[in-house]
């Protein structure tokens, strides 16, 4: 069995000989055999055991047994007592759920304190078939047929391919004692009912179902690799999730859809719930937002944006209009004074190429009428020395265009297809008379360059 164990571990490429693993050891035959195999294979490990105190003296005896086993194997054992009843009362969950939460919270804490990156549990092939019926009963067909995963995040299950009877046989042959948990003999819990009522009649199907679940997991793994590849092609790591990727997730979520599962895995890691993810997927309203503890998810026109709550819009800055450079958010704003003749020449070249006559910066030139082009806006020399504030958009902002019509800036953003989350990161430049411009979005009619001007101001912007 040791050779088979080492071969299975090597095939998984877990590299257990290179870094210590946290072993969850209850004292039952499964976890005892796992600890013994780790020791025989020379894999470094730390043992962790939680005493729930639900069986009185038996719980304390199991804890002492695990501590003695660790001492015998020459490894560290970390033990903690868990208050299951108190947890149930505070959180309103079942005893089983409370025990699971306390146990895994404890394991995660030990991993962090010990600098461990992997944890091993002693699930085996019989557990895999039990898992099928438990989740079938709960109506979760996807999880039922997939079976228990041999590797799930930082949790590994190296005994998943072994039958319970083979683990007992090895322990007996090697003379390894273990502790029986009497609570496993009752039928108070769903898993125990499955174990005692169904499993004896289905014993011959354990290996067959394990093989089926492994094939399904292999297909799932291929799908997840594809989903990850598409994710990096279309979304990247900048908090942007494209409509192209979301379309592959489907309107109705399914754990059989690898694109949805990869999305769920990514967002749940950021604190979003499965319900929030599904609501966002079915949301048709641009501008809808969903919050986790540390992030905000915006539903946009072209996809979703997920932003850290720590990433706030830039603070307002006040400047005196004149030559210089300022940084606001992702924009570098450059103001420079230039002769109008160079601007006329520039626009004339554009007009010549388009076949439109252009003699001045004024109304005769359609390009110059808006006093803007590409990455620049042009303003009258009369703006010199004026106090100007660079800030974010605020609700109620309005801007007067060159036709003299006032328009809400929020409507301008909608017309320009600015994503809802991006509005507050657009530099809005204001003076005492009103809004001069929303950079890269719209210039107002204030301080327009006139035909008789000899010099004007050029506001140019670059993205950092």
pLDDT in tens, 56-85: 788 889 899 999 999 999 999 999 888 888
Q: What pLDDT does 218 receive? A: 63
**Architecture of domain 2-204 in CATH?**
3-Layer(aba) Sandwich (3.40)
Residue 390 pLDDT greater than 90, yes or no: yes
Q: Where in the chain is the domain with CATH 3.40.50.620?
A: 2-204
Residue 253 pLDDT greater than 50, yes or no: yes
pLDDT in tens, 8-57: 777 777 888 888 999 999 999 999 999 999 999 999 999 999 888 777 78
pLDDT in tens, 198-211: 555 556 666 666 67
Mean pLDDT of 398-402: 90
Which one has a higher pLDDT value, 131 or 412?
A: 412
Mean of per-residue pLDDT scores for the chain: 80
Q: What pLDDT does 120 receive? A: 93
Report pTM.
0.48
For the chain, the three-class secondary structure string (H helix, E strand, C coil) is: CHHHHHHHHHHHCCCCCCCCEEEECCCCHHHHHHHHHHHHHCCCEEEEEEECCCCCHHHHHHHHHHHHHHHHHCCCEEEEECCHHHHHHHHCCCHHHHHHHHHHHHHHHHHHHHCCCCEECCCCHHHHHHHHHHHHHCCCHHHHHHCCCCEECCEECCCCCCCHHHHHHHHHHHCCCCCCCHHHHCCCCHHHHHHHHHHHHHHHHHHHHHHHHHHHHHHHHHHHHHHHHHHHHHCCCCCEEEHHHHHHHCCCCCCCCHHHHHHHHHHHCCCCCHHHHHHHHCCCCCCCEEECCCEEEEECCCEEEEEECCCCCCCCEEEECCCEEEEECCEEEEEEEEEHHHHHHHHHHHHHHHCCCCCCCCCCCHHHHCCEECCEEEEEHHHCCCEEEEECCCCCCEEECCCCCEEEHHHHHHHCCCCHHHHHHCCEEEECCEEEEECCCEECCCCCCCCCCCEEEEEEEEEC
Res. 355 pLDDT band, cuts 50 70 90: very low
Residue 368 pLDDT greater than 60, yes or no: no
């Amino acid at each position: 069995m040791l050779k088979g164990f080492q071969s299975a571990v090597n095939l998984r490429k877990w590299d257990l000989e290179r870094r210590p693993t946290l072993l969850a050891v209850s004292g039952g035959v499964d976890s005892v055999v796992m600890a013994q195999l780790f020791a025989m294979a020379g894999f470094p490990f730390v043992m962790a055991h939680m005493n729930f105190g639900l069986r009185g003296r038996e719980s304390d005896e199991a804890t002492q047994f695990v501590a003695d086993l660790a001492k015998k194997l020459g490894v560290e054992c970390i033990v903690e007592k868990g208050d299951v009843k108190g947890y149930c009362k505070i959180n309103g969950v079942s005893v089983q759920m409370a025990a699971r939460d306390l146990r895994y919270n404890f394991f995660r804490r030990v991993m962090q304190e010990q600098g461990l990156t992997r944890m091993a549990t002693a699930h085996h092939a019989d557990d895999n078939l039990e898992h099928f019926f438990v989740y079938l009963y709960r109506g979760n067909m996807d999880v039922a047929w997939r079976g228990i995963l041999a590797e799930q995040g930082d949790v590994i299950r190296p005994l998943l391919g072994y039958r319970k009877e083979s683990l007992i046989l090895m322990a007996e042959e090697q003379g390894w004692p273990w502790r029986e948990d009497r609570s496993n003999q009752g039928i108070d819990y769903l898993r125990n009912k499955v174990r005692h009522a169904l499993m004896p009649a289905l014993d011959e199907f354990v290996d067959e179902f394990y093989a089926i679940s492994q094939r399904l997991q292999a297909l799932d793994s291929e799908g997840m690799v594809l989903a990850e590849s598409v994710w990096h092609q279309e979304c990247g790591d900048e908090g942007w999730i494209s409509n192209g990727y979301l379309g592959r997730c489907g309107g109705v979520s399914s754990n059989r859809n690898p694109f949805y599962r990869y999305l769920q895995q990514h967002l749940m890691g950021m604190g979003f719930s499965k319900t929030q993810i599904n609501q966002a997927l079915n949301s048709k309203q641009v501008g809808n937002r969903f919050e986790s503890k540390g992030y905000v998810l915006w539903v946009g026109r072209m996809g979703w944006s997920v932003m850290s709550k720590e990433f706030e819009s830039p603070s307002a800055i006040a400047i005196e209009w004149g030559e210089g450079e300022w940084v606001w958010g992702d924009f570098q704003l450059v103001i420079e004074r230039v002769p109008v003749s160079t601007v006329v020449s520039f626009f004339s070249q554009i007009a010549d190429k388009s076949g439109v006559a252009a003699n001045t910066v004024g109304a005769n030139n359609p390009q110059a009428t808006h006093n803007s082009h590409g990455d620049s806006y042009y303003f009258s020399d009369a703006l010199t020395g004026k106090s100007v504030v660079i800030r974010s958009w605020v609700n109620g902002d309005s801007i007067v265009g060159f036709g003299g019509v006032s328009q809400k800036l929020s409507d301008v953003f909608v017309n320009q297809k600015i994503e809802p989350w991006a509005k507050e990161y657009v530099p809005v430049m204001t003076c005492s008379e009103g809004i001069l411009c929303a950079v890269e979005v719209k210039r107002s009619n204030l301080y327009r360059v006139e035909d008789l001007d000899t010099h004007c101001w050029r506001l140019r912007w670059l993205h950092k």
